[in-house]
Structure 1
C-alpha cells in the first residue's frame, strides 16, 4: 500500500479503461485524479501537482507523446508511466526518450503489474527527490563552510598582522647592544612571542615566551603578555622616583605577576618563558626562568654554554616562585634564546642529545642569527610542525 495522500493522475480517453485503472489505484490507497484529454490532463497536472502520471500514449491520435514532453519539461521530476498497445515497442522507446519512467502494455490484465510499476516509479521518484534534497543541503553546507573558512582566514590574517605589529623591530640597536629575532609560526598565528624594550636610560628588558598549544587561543595569550609587561612597567615608572633614572624592573617580579594574572584569567593556558634585564652601567644581566627549555646560550671567545637556572612554568601553580640570576656580561658576547621548537630541528635521538648539540652549533656559527638560522635549516617562508622563535642579543659580537 502507498502512503495515504499519494495523488496520482490517470489520462486516458477510454472511459472504461480509465475507470478500471482508477479503481485499481484506489485499492492501493492512492487518491486518483482523472482526465480524458491531453489538454485537460496537462492542466490538471499543473493545478494538482500529482506524484505520478499514467498516460495512454495513443491518447487523441498520439497526443500522449506531447503530454510526456510537457510534463518532463515542467522540471518537477514527476514520473510518467505510459501505456501502449502490444507490438508498439518503437512508441514505448520514443516515450522513454522523451522522459517517461516506465511503460505498460494495453490491455492491462494483471493489477499486480500495475501495482508493481507504480510502487517502483514512486520509490525511484522519492529516492531521486531525497538525493536532490541531500545534494542541496550539502551544497548549502559547502557554501556556508566556504564563507566560514574565508571569515576564519580573514580573521587569522588580521590576527597575524596584529601579532606582527606587536613584535619589536628587528634588528634593533640601542646603545652598545643589538637585538634581533625570528619567529616562524606553525599556523597563521603563533603561540611564541618575543619582545625587547628600553626600561630606563640605563636598562634594557627582553623576554621570550612559548604559550602552550597552537593557533588563535595561544596567540591571544601573547597579546596578554604584551599588555601585562607594558602595564607593569608603566605602573612601576609611575610609582618610582624619576630622579634616579632607574626602575626596579626585576624579571622574577614580571614572571610572578604574569603567573598570577594567567591563573586568575582561567584561560587553561600556561607559558614557559624567560626574561632578562641588562644594566648598561654595571654591564650585568639579571634573568629569571619560568619552566623554559632550552636555557639561554651565551657565546664569547669562541665558546658557547648554557646559563644556569630553573623555575616552574608560568600560569600553572599559584605558589610558584621565581628566582633572579645575575651574571657579568663580557666585553664581546651574544646571547641566544630559543623556543623548544628549535630542538626539533637538531640532530639527536634523545632530548638530552639535542640540548647538548645546541651550544656547539651556536659556537660553530659565531653566535649570529644568520648562522643559527642556516644551521637549523629554518626558513621564515616554510611551515614548521611547531612554532619556532629565536632571539639573539649581542654586544660587539662582530
Structure 2
C-alpha cells in the first residue's frame, strides 16, 4: 500500500542511500536525503519529515548523535536506525534512546525495510489517536465536573454534557454500519452506547444499562467511557496484534466499579467485529433482552450468559464468536423497550421484537417504525437501541 509520507534518509554510503531512496520512492513515499548526520539535522529542522531512517556509523556526527538531537526537538518523530551486524551495542543504545526499530546491513530484502517503516508510521498514528481520545475524554470529564452543581438544579444541562460522550452519528467501517438512539426517561440517561475503531480491521462496540436513573447513573456512564477508552489505549500501545477479549473487558470494568463503591451495577453487551474474518466476538454481562441477529432469512436471539457487571466479586464472563459472512443485522435493545410494548407477557414481547427485525431493517429509524415507537421522546424507563448492519 503506497503512502504519501515524507521520509528522511541519512547515510554516508552513497550507493546504499541511493538504492534505498529509489525503492522507497517507487513505493510512493516522498524522500529527502542527507549524506551525513550534520546535514541530516539541517534537513530535519527545515522539512520536519514524518520519519527518519538513519545509519548509525557515520563520520563527525553519528546516528546516535542525530537520534539524541531529534528526540529533544521532536520526541514523537519515528526514527529507524540502520546498523552493521557487528555493532549491536549501538543498536541497543539507539533503542534505549527511543528508536522505533532497527535494520541490519546489508539490507537484502528492501520489503523488510518498507514493512518496518509502515509499522512505525502506524504506531505514530495510533499514538496521535490515543492523544485525541484522551484530550476529548478529559475535556468531557472536566465539563461534567464543572456541571455537577448545575446538575443538581438543571438536569437538562447535564444531558447536554452527557451527549458529548456519545458517538457523533453512525459509524461506517468498511462494509459494516452502526446506528443508535437513546430515549431517556429523564433528561439524564443511565443507558449508554459507544463504538470505535480498534485497529485497521476491527472495531468495538457496546450497549450498557446502568441501574437506577438520573445524575448518579449518568455519572457511571462517564466512568464506563473512561474505563473503555483507557483499556483501548492500553491495547493499542501494548498488544494490538492480539485479539481483544470482551470477557476480559467486562471483568476489568466489574472490578473497577466495585472499587468505586457507588452501589451501581451495569448490564452490558459488548463485542468486536473483525472485518477480515467477518466474525463477531462478544460477551454478555446480564444484558436483557438478548441481542437479535437476522441473517440468511432467519431471526434468532444470540446465545450466551454472564452476570451483571459491578454487582458480584469475580463473576465469570465468556467470549462467543460467530460468523457474519453474508448480509445481516444485529439489533440490541436495553430493557426499557419492554416497558413500552403492548403485549402482556414477556415471551410475547420477545417474539414481537424478533418479528420486527430482518436484514432490511438496518437502521434505527426502520426498527423504531416497525415497533411503532418512532415518535417517542420520553419513556417510563431509559431506552437504548443499537443496530449493526453488514453487507459482506
- What range describes the TM-score normalised by the shorter chain of this pair? 0.5 to 0.7
CA contact (8 A) 1:343 1:354 kept: yes
Name the counterpart of 1:309. Answer: 304
Provide the C-alpha distance between the structure 2 equivalents of 1:366 and 1:379, rounded to a whole number of angstroms. Answer: 13
Matched, 1:321 2:334: no
Alignment of 1:227-238 (within 5 A): 227-238=226-237
Residues 148-171 of structure 1 show CA distances to partners (whole Å, capped at 9, x for unaligned) of: xx9557642232112111111222
Q: Does residue 396 of structure 1 match 2:391?
A: yes
Q: Paired residue for 2:284?
A: 289
Contact 2:328-2:359 at 8 Å conserved across structures = no
Displacement of 1:183? 0.5
Match of 1:371, SS state, is helix
Q: For 1:234-313, what aligned pairs fall within 5 Å after superposition? A: 234-240=233-239, 246-313=241-308
TM-score, with normalisation over the residues of structure 2?
0.59
Q: Is the 8 A contact 1:208 1:391 kept in 2?
A: yes
Superimposed CA distance per residue, residues 338-374 of structure 1 (whole angstroms, 9 cap, x where no aligned partner):
1001112223221122112211111396344222111
Structure 2: segments with no counterpart, 5+ residues: 1-148
* TM-score relative to the length of structure 1: 0.58
Deviations 1:184-231 (A, max 9, x none): 110010000000000011111000000000001000000000000000
| Cα-to-partner distance string for 1:309-343 (whole Å, 9 max, x where unaligned) | 11000001112010000000032111111100111
Aligned to 2:370: 375
2:185 counterpart residue number: 186
After superposition, the Cα gap between the structure-2 partners of 1:315 and 1:352, relative to the gap in structure 1 and judged at 3 Å, is same
Task: Check the 8 A contact 2:280/2:321 in 1, yes or no.
Answer: yes
CA separation in 2, counterparts of 1:176 and 1:318? 39
Q: Distance in 1 between matches of 2:238 and 2:348?
A: 47
Checking the alignment, whether the CA contact within 8 Å between 1:365 and 1:372 is kept in structure 2 is no
Does structure 2 conserve the Cα–Cα contact (< 8 Å) formed by 1:191 and 1:222?
yes
Count of residues in Structure 1 that have an aligned counterpart in Structure 2: 244
The question of 1:158 aligning with 2:157 is answered: yes
SS in 2 for 1:363: coil
CA pair 367-360 structure 1, distance change in 2 beyond 3 A: farther
In structure 1, stretches of 5+ residues that fail to align are 1-149
Contact 2:251 2:314 in 1 (8 A): no
Matched residue SS, 2:339: helix
Q: CA RMSD in A?
A: 2.0
Taking a change above 3 Å as real, the CA distance of residues 187 and 175 of structure 1, as seen in their structure-2 partners, is same
Contact map agreement 2:151 2:158 (CA 8 A) in 1: no
If you compute each CA radius of gyration, which structure gives the higher value, 1 or 2? 1
* Cα distance between partner residues in 2 of 1:380 and 1:217: 27
What is the DSSP-based 3-state SS (H/G/I as helix, E as strand, rest coil) of the residue aligned with 2:257? helix
- Asked whether 1:338 is paired with 2:333, we answer yes
